[in-house]
Chain A
Amino acid sequence: MEFITSSFYPTEILALIQYKFLRSNNKSKEISSWSERKKRCYQFLEMTSGSFSSIIMELEQEYRDLICMFYLVLRGMDTIEDDMTIPIDKKIPLLRTFHEKISQKDWIFTENGPNEKDRQLLMEFDVVIEEFLLLPKECQDIIIDITKRMGNGMADYIEKTSHDRYSIITIKEFDEYCHYVAGLVGIGINDLFNAVGAKVPSTSKNSKIIISMGLFLQKINIVRDFTEDLNENRKYWPKQIWTKYVEEIDELILPENKISSIYCLSEMILNTLLHVIECLDYLFTVKNGDILIFGFAAKPLIIAYATLALTFKNYNTFAVKNKVKIRKGEAAKLVLQCTDMYEVARLFKEYTKVILKKNNDSLDPNFMQINIACGQVNIQFL
């Protein structure tokens, strides 16, 4: 399947082949020495995280295990949060106490709905807990703290959702939601790296730009996944934005509202784009440290930025079936090229040009602000 969608782009086929070969060849010896339990954890990582798994695999082993476990813990909690078949009065206490569960040996959760994609992870969560408890105590504490804050944030959001028809009204609330589900992840990752002596910037001094990393990655997913979320009655686009274009959020998918919907999409893209400057600030702070940590930070960013360029002005965002997603080959190509700041700069400039080329409708109320935001991205790389 991956080869089919990339078949019209020969350099992407080559990148995909090279990528898969490098990936499997580099790690196979190390993996064979792992315990079965650890192997299972990394299988879950690959099953549940998509392209992020390969990015994690490129880290040194001592960092990799931390991030893998952190990811699986949060994915586990997210699998509860996402599951619309779990009654709210049961879900909220689960989220608020999830940070306690991850230290309880043998704890599992078997009540996800049959269609919840990552339910198997929770059905075998005892495996994750065993590996989590092998981490250094300081790292366990960091993960527990982030999980607690995130769980409470998610629970607060759900409580609000059950009272109000739209739970994200203002842009500020949108940022708060994204902070809980993603900004905290950036904080946690940076803290974990710090805890094991990696050369990364201080969390307390750089929390704003670290949080922006999470906000950017989360927002681009929310923008891209609009229709998929709407079909499952999840509404993350802030009312403060969409109410300028339509009266009800569902109306964004109506064909007669096509132009308004595209303008609304522009404003969501602009809101997301405004975080990029701070993300690049973070890259600049890590670029002279561990090369693998730099890659770990840069690769999700450039893939998200490419996704942003693809999503911008793309009416398929509102299509019922078509999912806006960059081709596997393009992602592989980006990952392989993300070797240093110079290459990252070149890639960012390339996608900025794509965005600017699409930004050609001066009737769009966001026309000039998108130009300005793109100008600011370009300036970072001079």
Chain B
Amino acid sequence: MVENYLIIGGDGFVGRWVVEMLIKRGETSITVFDIVQRYFDKEIKHYQGDLSNYDDISDCIEKENITAIIHTASPPHDGKSEGLFWEVNVEGTKNVIEACVKFGVKKLVYTSSSSVVYDGYSELINTDETAPYPEKHMNVYNETKAAGEKLVLEANGRNGLLTCALRPCGIFGPNDRQAIPGFIKVMEQGQTKFQIGNNENFVDWTYVENCAYAHILAVDKLSVENQTAGEAYFITNGTPVPFWDLCRLIWAQFNHYPPYILKFPSSFGFVIASLAELASYITGKEPGFTRFRVRFATTNRYFNINKARNRLGYEPLVDLEEGVKRACQPVLNSLNNN
């Protein structure tokens, strides 16, 4: 049976990787739905629309007789518009689900996030999918991703629809606009010599190709005959590393090696961050140094991916070090061309 794929957010970072992997393996029926078109493959049908408009997404699903949906669309987590998070992650996801149920879509794979179990304070040490949602989420983005995930998992079984949610962590890769640029900015600002905390906290990351691969695996595996549907899965590289050492590996790609390291205890970092946030509140400027970032850099945050291994057959295709090299390559190329 030929699957008619719809990649929602298919012109985005993860979505585009999914599309390219499907093309590469010879899929012949791929449709992309996104708010802006960035790629123009002749073999791909493209629908431009707004996920928060039910008719936009339902028209697409009906016309293309979609059988499997990979829903990767989400505003960037560092975006400022809380309303947009609710519109896309919650209302938009409701619209997708309603259209799936109405038009008999068989499979829905949702890009969730590992942050759906993060309260902004606790350590996440080899956390698996039995961890509950926090009573209070760290921010609106996390809250809306969790709400979207719940909707998707609860929709499992409605009119034959099979669903699951994938929870990647720290997605990075070539041309990503959040992870690698952040580390490069630190380098450009001459701040690589500072280290907050003792660098004994381990952090997980997900290289983008591994993330996309997990989505395709999930579509392939979803079936009434196994235990894959109606479940969430953490998807990472499975190789947590000390936080600052990953930073140093990234900087090493640019032949940058901090001349020395100045170490501050995390408590000192929190004080400085609080002052920086107060200053930004007074001046109206965006703070670069925040308590969240201090906590991000100094806490353990890694996940147990055995459920994805056992039920989806997931194994990372690209290891962390190779992923970092590939992720930095486009920036290196552009530097060399200037």
Please tell me if the beta carbons of B321 and A363 are within 8 angstroms of each other in the complex. no
Chain B neighbourhood of A356, CB < 8 A: 199-200, 242
Which residues of A from 352 to 382 have beta carbons under 8 Å from B?
A: 353, 356, 359-360, 362-363, 367-369, 371-372, 375-376, 378-379, 382
Which residues of B from 118 to 155 have beta carbons under 8 Å from A?
A: 125-126
Chain A neighbourhood of B199, CB < 8 A: 356
Q: Which of B252, B257, B320 contacts A372 (CB 8 A)?
A: B320
Residue of B nearest to A367 (CB): B249
Expressed in whole angstroms, the minimum distance between the Cβ of B125 and any Cβ of chain A is 6
Chain B neighbourhood of A382, CB < 8 A: 125-126
Expressed in whole angstroms, the minimum distance between the Cβ of A104 and any Cβ of chain B is 52
Which residues of B from 60 to 85 have beta carbons under 8 Å from A?
A: none
Q: Give the complex CA separation of A286 and B242 in angstroms.
A: 31
Given A356-B199, A376-B239, A379-B302, 17 further pairs, Cβ under 8 A: A353-B200, A356-B200, A359-B245, A362-B251, A362-B252, A367-B249, A368-B241, A368-B246, A368-B320, A368-B324, A369-B321, A372-B239, A375-B202, A375-B239, A378-B240, A379-B126, A379-B240
Interface of B is mostly: mixed
Please tell me if the beta carbons of B242 and A371 are within 8 angstroms of each other in the complex. yes
Chain B neighbourhood of A376, CB < 8 A: 239
Indicate whether B248 reaches chain A with its CB closer than 8 angstroms: yes
Please tell me if the beta carbons of B200 and A375 are within 8 angstroms of each other in the complex. no
Q: Give the complex CA separation of A253 and B202 in angstroms.
A: 35
B106-127 vs A, Cβ < 8 Å mask (1 yes, 0 no): 0000000000000000000110
Please tell me if the beta carbons of A362 and B240 are within 8 angstroms of each other in the complex. no
Chain A neighbourhood of B241, CB < 8 A: 368, 371-372, 375
Please tell me if the beta carbons of B245 and A362 are within 8 angstroms of each other in the complex. yes
Q: A356-B200, A368-B249 are in contact. Are A363 and B257 (CB under 8 A)?
A: yes
Chain A neighbourhood of B248, CB < 8 A: 362, 367
Interface residues of A toward B: which range?
Answer: 10 to 19
Residue of B nearest to A375 (CB): B240
Number of residues from B at the complex interface, CB < 8 A: 22
Please tell me if the beta carbons of B126 and A371 are within 8 angstroms of each other in the complex. no
Please tell me if the beta carbons of A372 and B321 are within 8 angstroms of each other in the complex. yes
Q: Give the complex CA separation of A372 and B200 in angstroms.
A: 13
Residue of B nearest to A371 (CB): B241
A-B contact pairs, 21 of them (CB 8 A): A356-B200, A359-B245, A362-B245, A362-B248, A362-B249, A363-B252, A367-B245, A367-B249, A368-B246, A368-B320, A368-B324, A372-B241, A372-B320, A372-B321, A375-B242, A375-B302, A378-B202, A378-B240, A379-B126, A379-B240, A379-B302
Chain B neighbourhood of A375, CB < 8 A: 202, 239-242, 302
4 shortest interchain CB distances as A-B pairs: A362-B248, A371-B241, A368-B321, A372-B239
Chain A neighbourhood of B125, CB < 8 A: 382
A285-307 vs B, Cβ < 8 Å mask (1 yes, 0 no): 00000000000000000000000
B144-185 vs A, Cβ < 8 Å mask (1 yes, 0 no): 000000000000000000000000000000000000000000
Q: Give the complex CA separation of A353 and B199 in angstroms.
A: 10
B223-252 vs A, Cβ < 8 Å mask (1 yes, 0 no): 000000000000000011110011011011
Residue of B nearest to A369 (CB): B321
Q: A362-B257, A376-B239, A378-B202 are in contact. Are A371 and B245 (CB under 8 A)?
A: yes
Which residues of B from 309 to 338 have beta carbons under 8 Å from A?
A: 319-321, 324
Residue of A nearest to B240 (CB): A375
Q: Give the complex CA separation of A368 and B243 in angstroms.
A: 11
Expressed in whole angstroms, the minimum distance between the Cβ of B44 and any Cβ of chain A is 36
Chain A neighbourhood of B126, CB < 8 A: 379, 382
Q: Give the complex CA separation of A360 and B257 in angstroms.
A: 11
Expressed in whole angstroms, the minimum distance between the Cβ of B323 and any Cβ of chain A is 10
Residue of B nearest to A372 (CB): B239
Chain B neighbourhood of A362, CB < 8 A: 245, 248-249, 251-252, 257
Chain B neighbourhood of A378, CB < 8 A: 202, 240
Q: Give the complex CA separation of A375 and B321 in angstroms.
A: 14
Q: Give the complex CA separation of A359 and B245 in angstroms.
A: 9
